[in-house]
Amino acid sequence: MRLLLVEDDNHVAAALSAVLAKHGFEVVHARNGEEALKAVLPATHPEKPPFGVVLLDLGLPDQDGYQVCGKIRKLTTTPVIMVTARADVRSRIHGLNLGADDYVVKPYDTGELLARIHAVSRRNAGGDDAAGAASEHALRLGPVTIELPTRRVSVDGAPVQLTRKEFDLLALLAQRPGVVFRREQIISEVWRTSWEGTGRTLEVHVASLRSKLKMPALIETVRGVGYRLVAPAGT
């Protein structure tokens, strides 16, 4: 997923960009409001996919972050997460009223920030699916085709029989190829429960998927973190 980081402090931006890159994000750094607005214009880089999320710091040198948020919202429906040290309720309400999708107060936990990024991007993807009824509703990753409405999976056209949880797990990872999903997040979204006592179940399902799809390299284990789907070459 491409992510626009709007942050005037180069040291903060470099550190956060490194963390985000490790979790599969392609980060574009804008140092002020003007750069951010140019970056989100659809015609700026027509050859690249749109941003999945904008992380917007409010303390910018050239424009007030709230104004930048309002302008971004007029240009695109891309989710905006405000990142700021302003913790009072009135500031949060003002940001949300301007069109921000979420509001994170500094200092923040990196895991929480990643969870919020995934949450707003999923909500946005869901809205796009609902609005685009004529879209194909299928994910294609090399030889693998995942039909979301019918819950069918095939490899090179041959159907693969998956259990309900196996399909849910594969679909979750496939919607964000390259993005690392934390074990806790996967358990929460697929099994609708907490991590405790369910870790072994996740490992078994990942092993089963690798075996049934006959593509052991498709789902990569990120040691100490979770799993990510590695899109086959040419996807």
Q: pLDDT tens across 163-200, in order?
A: 888 998 999 999 888 889 988 888 877 877 665 555 67
| Percent over 70 (pLDDT), the chain | 86
**Residue 89 pLDDT greater than 70, yes or no:** yes
| Cα–Cα distance measured from residue 19 to residue 229, given in angstroms and rounded to the nearest whole number | 18
Residue 208 is predicted with a pLDDT of 93
Fold for 2-131, please state it: Rossmann fold (3.40.50)
Residues near 11 by Cβ (< 8 Å), separated by ≥ 6? none
Q: Phi-psi category of 107—alpha, beta or left, where left has phi over 0 and alpha has psi -120 to 50?
A: beta
Residue 190 is predicted with a pLDDT of 83
Distance set, CA 170 to CA 142, 194, 199, 219, 223 (Å): 14, 19, 16, 9, 19
Pairing type for strands 26-30 and 80-84 reads unpaired
Fold for 138-229, please state it: Arc Repressor Mutant, subunit A (1.10.10)
**Residue 27 pLDDT greater than 90, yes or no:** yes
Higher pLDDT, 234 or 29: 29
Residue 16's pLDDT band (cuts 50, 70, 90): very high
3-state secondary structure 121-170: HHHHHHHHHHHCCCCCCEEEECCEEEECCCCEEEECCEEECCCHHHHHHH
| Cα–Cα distance measured from residue 160 to residue 221, given in angstroms and rounded to the nearest whole number | 22
| Cα–Cα distance measured from residue 141 to residue 233, given in angstroms and rounded to the nearest whole number | 9
Residue 138 is predicted with a pLDDT of 80
| Cα–Cα distance measured from residue 187 to residue 169, given in angstroms and rounded to the nearest whole number | 9
Contact 50, 2 (CB under 8 A): yes
* Residue ranges of domains in the chain: 2-131, 138-229
Other CB atoms within a 10 A radius of the CB of residue 148 amount to 15
Higher pLDDT, 28 or 1: 28
| Cα–Cα distance measured from residue 182 to residue 22, given in angstroms and rounded to the nearest whole number | 12
What residues pair up with 158 in beta bridges, in sequence order? Answer: 155
Q: Phi-psi category of 137—alpha, beta or left, where left has phi over 0 and alpha has psi -120 to 50?
A: left
- Take residue 6 and report the two structure tokens written for it: 């709007």
Q: How far apart are the first and last CA of the chain?
A: 15
Residue 151's pLDDT band (cuts 50, 70, 90): confident
Pairing type for strands 26-30 and 2-6 reads parallel
Higher pLDDT, 125 or 225: 225
pLDDT tens string 110-137: 888 888 888 787 766 654 443 333 234 6
Using CA atoms of 100, 104, 106, 108 in order, give the dihedral in degrees to the nearest 10: -150
Mean pLDDT of 75-96: 84
Residue 8 is predicted with a pLDDT of 94
Mean pLDDT of 133-142: 64
